[in-house]
Amino acid sequence: MGLMREVRVLTAGRDWRGRSRTPRSAAAHQPPEEPYEFPTGWARTTAARVARRGLQRGVLTPLTWSTTKPQVEGRELLDSVTGPVVLVANHASHLDTPLILGSLPERMAKRVAVGAAADYFFDARWRAAVTALVFNAFPVERYRSRRLRSLAPRLLANGWSLLLFPEGTRSEDGWMAPMRMGAAQLCVTQGVAAVPVVLRGTYAAMPRGRNWPVPGRPRVVVRYGAPLHPAEGESARAFNTRLGQAVAFPLVARSRRPASPAPGPAARASLSVATCAQPRTG
């Protein structure tokens, strides 16, 4: 059985995907790794959209709503939104995305793509596939060494709203980190509005390190702000500052409920306002 023997010789030392380990002495001469972008286009096809709707409505949203007690405010401000927008939110927990997706108006929720960290969510193929399917995620490079051309402008052009977390990572300590320029630049260059979304209580509900919300159905707040349009000739930096303020200090009546993150020292230094910090009530 010459063929069987051939196959055996060929596959000895190679894994199930046909990849061989690099011998030690060849390690120094490995070719540079090609940056690989996980294709997410398939997740925006009709079939995938249908499946996603089912997953979100049937599994994700009920699960989220049952393990926490969300309070949604400012939804009416989104009535005036037509066309794609960039939703900009603070990020403290993995709960953030399900909460937003579950609380958006139906028409917007259907056309939202979530920017997810390429190095975390799109690292392993299976995780990438699941994230793309369930959340309609697309990869965003957060460490500039391997710059991929971002999908974001194209998605906006195709009518998809984007959900971005400009802090770039979940909060370490509950306080907000400075917002990166990407979202603001996107709005300015593409000429779309940004909708600030403020999430309160998610850090306490399921901080970094936890894979499940704390028991006892903690209260969380999702507050939508009025869409901000970049002004004529406004620079991205200036727009970013405005956005930052909007997220940190929403101009909507606050709830007296607990656990709201105050702007961190850096943000505070760059802002010029007074009374915004919510007292921590126990």
Residue from 1, 4, 24, 281 touching other proteins (CB under 8 A): that is 24
DSSP-assigned beta bridge partners for residue 195: 87
Q: What's the CA dihedral at 238, 244, 246, 247 to 10 degrees? A: 160
Residue from 4, 25, 147, 256 touching other proteins (CB under 8 A): that is 25
- Near other proteins by CB under 8 A, which window of 10-18, 33-41, 118-126, 183-191? 10-18
**Three-state secondary structure string covering 222-274:** EEECCCECCCCCCCHHHHHHHHHHHHHCCCCCCCCCCCCCCECHHHHHHCCCC
Q: How far apart are CA 124 and CA 231, in angstroms?
A: 41
Residue from 21, 53, 57, 210 touching other proteins (CB under 8 A): that is 21
The two beta strands, 69-73 and 112-117, are unpaired
Q: How far apart are CA 89 and CA 87, in angstroms?
A: 6
How far is CA 107 from each of CA 78, 88, 100, 187, rounded to the nearest angstrom?
11, 18, 13, 21
Nearer Cβ to other proteins (14/210)? 14
Does the protein bind other proteins through residue 14 (CB under 8 A)? yes
Q: How far apart are CA 205 and CA 214, in angstroms?
A: 6
Does the protein bind other proteins through residue 20 (CB under 8 A)? yes
Nearer Cβ to other proteins (28/253)? 28
Chain residues 143-182 in contact with other proteins, contact rule CB under 8 A: none
Does the protein bind other proteins through residue 125 (CB under 8 A)? no
- Near other proteins by CB under 8 A, which window of 25-33, 61-69, 162-170, 256-264? 25-33
Nearer Cβ to other proteins (27/253)? 27
Does the protein bind other proteins through residue 35 (CB under 8 A)? no
Residues 6+ apart with CB under 8 A from 6: none
Does the protein bind other proteins through residue 1 (CB under 8 A)? no
- DSSP per residue, 191-222: T--EEEEEEESHHHHS-TT-SSPPSS--EEEE
Residue from 1, 29, 145, 149 touching other proteins (CB under 8 A): that is 29
Nearer Cβ to other proteins (13/282)? 13
Q: How far apart are CA 74 and CA 99, in angstroms?
A: 14
Does the protein bind other proteins through residue 265 (CB under 8 A)? no
Residue from 22, 158, 235, 270 touching other proteins (CB under 8 A): that is 22
Contact in structure between 276 and 270 (CB atoms under 8 Å): no
Contact in structure between 276 and 248 (CB atoms under 8 Å): yes
Residue from 1, 4, 13, 282 touching other proteins (CB under 8 A): that is 13
CB of 14 to other proteins, least distance (A): 6
Chain residues 195-224 in contact with other proteins, contact rule CB under 8 A: none
Q: Which strands form 194-200's sheet, in the order they lie side by side?
A: 69-73, 219-224, 194-200, 86-89, 161-164, 112-117, 137-140
Does the protein bind other proteins through residue 18 (CB under 8 A)? yes
Nearer Cβ to other proteins (13/279)? 13
Binding site residues, other proteins, CB under 8 A: 2-3, 6-7, 9-14, 17-18, 20-26, 28-29, 31
